[in-house]
Amino acid sequence: MGSPENVNYVEVMAAQRTVIVVGGGLAGLMTTMKLAEAGHKVKLFSLVPVKRSHSVCAQGGINGAVNLRGEGDSPYLHFEDTITGGDFLNHQPPVMRMAERAPAIIYLLDRMGVPFNRTSEGLLSFRRFGGTLKHRTAYAGATTGQQLLYALDEQVRRWEVAGLVEKYEGWDFLGIVKDSNEACRGITAQDLRTMQIHAFAADAVVMATGGCGLIFGKSTNSIINSGSPVSICYQQGVRYGNPEMVQIHPTAIPGEDKCRLISESVRGEGGRVWVPRDPMDERLPTSIPEKDRWYVCEELDPKYGNLLSRDIVSFIIYCVCRMDKGIKKRQQVYLDITQLHQSRGGPYTRDQINDKLEGVLEIYEKFMREDPIDLPMRIYPAVHYTMGGLWVDYETNGDGAWDVDSHRNQMTNISGLYAAGECDYQYHGANRLGANALLSCLVGGEITAQGVLAYLQGMSASGADLPSSALEDSRHQRQSEYDALCKSNGDENPYRLHQELSETMWNNCGIWRVQKDLLSAKAKLDELSRRIHKCKLVDDSGWSNQAVPFTRNVAHMIEQSKAIVGGAIVRDESRGAHFKMDTPNRDDEHWLKSTLATYSPTGPTFDFEKIDTRYLAPRARKYAVNQIGIVKKLMGENFLEGFAAAGS
C-alpha cells in the first residue's frame, strides 16, 4: 500500500484484518510497520512505552556484509560465521536468509534516517565484532539500538496517525485466547494503571516480547525482561526451543540493581582483556609494564584474540577468576582501551574515541566514577541474551531457499500465533554473534509480517467470529488468578523467592554447568514452585499495583527456569553457551538437534528436532581454542577428569 499519506481507505476497509502484536521493541515495530503497510489494523501492546523497549539499550551495532572495505566479505561468509558462532545448532535456511537480507536492512535503516557513523568519504562505517575477521557491523556511535528504535517508532507513528495502529502502552500480556480449533484468536492483558483485565480478539497474534534476563537476577537486560510472555505461551502449549542456550556476555559492570553492558564494540575498536600476572599487583594498571600483564585471550588464540566468540571469552574470564587470578583475586579483569589514546602512543584523540564509543564509555564513567580513556575498565561476565525461545517454523521451496510467501514462517506450533525477535529461537543456535540480534529482530519482524499476511489471506475463520463467551471465559480465568493472588496470605516474600531463583540459576545453570548441580537446581525449582503460591500480599493497592504482577511474574519465571534447567540436564554434551563439565565434548552424532520443551504441570517433557544443515556440514569451530582447551591450558591437562570424577 506504500505510505500512510496515500492510503485508499475504501480498499483498506475491504481487506482489513486485525493483528495483535505484543511487544514494541525492534521486532514488534518492524512487524507492525509491515502489517500496516499492507493495510491491516494492528493493536500494539507493550509493557513499557514503546520507545523504552529494551532494544533502546543496544549499543554496538548491526551486522550486514556490505563489504565497503573491499575485504572480500559476503552474505555467505556472514552466514558461515553465524553458523560457526552458533556451534551448528542453528537451522541453516533461516540464517542464510538473514545474512542475505542484512545489507538491504542496513540501507533501509539508513534511508529512514538512522545516523550511522560514516567514513571521511561519507560512506557507512563498519567496525569489527566478535566471531568474524571482517568489518561487518554498522553502528551509530554506541547508541545504535536507540537510533534504530526511534527510526522505526517514527514510521509506526505515521501509521498510528493514519488510524491503522492502536497502541496499548503500560499493558501486561496475560495469555493467548484460542478458538474451538485451538487456533490463536486473541489475547488477555492487564492495564497496569487501572489493574483492569480485558480480552481482545484478533485474526492473528505476534509475540515480540524480548529476553528473560531477570530469571538470572542481575543481567545486562532491562529489569522488565522477566520473559513471562514466553513462559505463559509455553504454559499454554507453545513449544520452547533450545531453552538451555543462554548467552553470558564477557564484559559487564555489576551494579546494585542490574549489570551494565560494556559493549563488544569496545573490543571491536581495539579494547584488550588482561589481568596483572601477579593478581595482587598494587600498581596502577597503567603503570604495570607489558611483561607483567597477561593478555589471556590473545595468548590462547592469537588470530581472533579478544574477538573470539562470546561464549569463549566469557569462559576464559570465568576460568581466570575461578583460579583466583582476577584483579586482586576478585571477580574482575581489565578491559583496556587506554592504549588507543595518543597520550599512550595510540592512533586516536579523545574526540575520535568518543565518536565511536561515547555512549558506552559514559555508562562506565557514570557508574564506576573512572574515566575509561585514562584507566582500564574492570569487568566481569553477565547473563545477556537468550538464544532459546518460542519454537517457530520456516518453509523452503523446491530449490531449498526460504519460501518467503509461506504462512508457516515464524509461526509457532499454535496456528495463528507467531513470534519474532529475541523471544523466538530461530537464528542463533547455541551462541549468538554480537550485532546479529538487532538484525534477527528486523529480518524476523519482516518475515513474520509476510507469514501473517499469507496466513490472513488463506484463513477461513476470523477473530470477529470468536464467540464473546470465549473471550469472557479467558478474561474471567485471568481475573480469578489475579484475585487469588491479591488475597494470598502465606508467609513467603515474592522478592526473596526471586532472589533464591536467580541465585539458583546463576550458580547452577550459568557458565560452568555440572549435572549434579543442574539436578539440585531442578529440585530447588520444584520447591520454589510450591512456595510461590504461599506468598503474603505485600501490596493490595487497586491502582498501579507493583507487587501482585511481580509475584505473578516470579511464578512464570520459575516455570520457564524448569525448561532451561531441564534442557541443560537432557543435553548430554557441550555446545556453544552450554558447557557441561561432565560431558565436555560436542557430540554431533547424538546432539545435532534442537531441544524442544513442552510444558506439563509436573515439569517439562522434551523431544528433539534434527538440525537442517543443508548448506554447511558441521565441523569443528574455527577458533584456536574451545572450552575444553581453555580448561586444560589454564587448569591443567587432567583437570576435567578430576572434576568429573569428584562430581564437584
Which of 51/325 has CB closer to ligand FAD?
Answer: 51
Site for ligand FAD in 227-246 (CB under 6 A): 228-229
Name the one range near ligand FAD by CB under 6 A: 320-328, 402-410, 416-424, 601-609: 416-424
CB contact at 8 A, 137 and 60: yes
Nearest-CA neighbor of 437 among 52, 70, 86, 22? 86
Report, in Å, the least distance between residue 184 CB and ligand FAD. 16
Q: Which is nearer to ligand FAD, 39 or 241 (CB)?
A: 241
Interactions with ligand FAD, residue window 51-110 (CB under 6 A): 53-55, 57-62
**Cβ 228 to ligand FAD, closest distance in Å?**
5
From the list 360, 340, 365, 385, the residue with the least C-alpha distance to 246 is 385
Catalytic residue positions, numbered: 310
Stretch that binds ligand FAD, among 16-24, 319-327, 535-543, 636-644 (CB under 6 A): 16-24
CB of 86 to ligand FAD, least distance (A): 14
Residues 6+ apart with CB under 8 A from 479: 197
Q: How far apart are CA 346 and CA 271, in angstroms?
A: 12
Shorter beta-carbon distance to ligand FAD: residue 174 or 630: 174
Q: Are the C-beta atoms of residues 578 and 428 closer than 8 Å to each other?
A: no
What is the number of helices (H) and of strands (E) in the chain? 18, 21
Q: Shortest Cβ distance from residue 391 to ligand FAD (Å)?
A: 16
Residue 65, CA distances (Å) to 79, 102, 110, 121, 442 in order: 10, 7, 15, 19, 15
Residues 156-185 that bind ligand FAD (CB under 6 A): 171-173
The contacts of residue 574 (CB under 8 Å, 6+ apart) are: 580, 583, 584, 585, 586, 627, 628
Cell numbers linked to 44: 500494539
Q: Tell me the C-alpha distance between 112 and 286, whole Å.
A: 43
Using CB under 6 A as the binding rule, the residues of this chain from 128 to 157 that contact ligand FAD are 144-145
Q: How far apart are CA 219 and CA 223, in angstroms?
A: 8
Dihedral of CA atoms 303, 306, 310, 315 in degrees, nearest 10, equals: 100
Residues that bind ligand FAD (rule: CB under 6 A) add up to a total of: 45
Pairwise CA distance, residues 16 & 10, whole Å: 10
Residue 271 found at the interface with ligand FAD (CB under 6 A): no
Q: DSSP assignment, residue 253?
A: E
Residues 30-49: x where in contact with ligand FAD by CB under 6 A, - otherwise, as a string? ---------------xxxx-
Query: 3-state DSSP call for residue 491?
Result: coil
240-241 and 389-390 as β-strands: parallel, antiparallel, unpaired? antiparallel
Stretch that binds ligand FAD, among 278-286, 352-360, 398-406, 433-441 (CB under 6 A): 433-441
Q: Considering the rule CB under 6 A, would residue 208 count as an interface residue with ligand FAD?
A: yes
Between 106 and 288, CB nearer to ligand FAD: 106
Span from 420-428, 469-477, 564-572, 581-589 in contact with ligand FAD (CB under 6 A) = 420-428
CB of 560 to ligand FAD, least distance (A): 12
Check if the beta carbon of residue 433 is closer than 8 Å to that of residue 33: no
Instruction: Closer to ligand FAD by CB, 228 or 583: give it.
Output: 228
Q: Closer CB to ligand FAD, residue 154 or residue 582?
A: 154
Q: How far is the CB of 215 from ligand FAD (least distance, A)?
A: 13
- Smallest CA-to-CA distance from 210 within 395, 79, 434, 57 is with 57
Contact pattern for ligand FAD over residues 385 through 414, marking x by CB under 6 A:
x-----------------------------
335 binds ligand FAD (CB under 6 A): no
Hey, what's the cell of 521? 537446581
Residues that bind ligand FAD (CB under 6 A): 22-28, 45-48, 50, 53-55, 57-62, 144-145, 171-173, 208-210, 220-221, 228-229, 261, 263, 384-385, 421-423, 435-438, 441
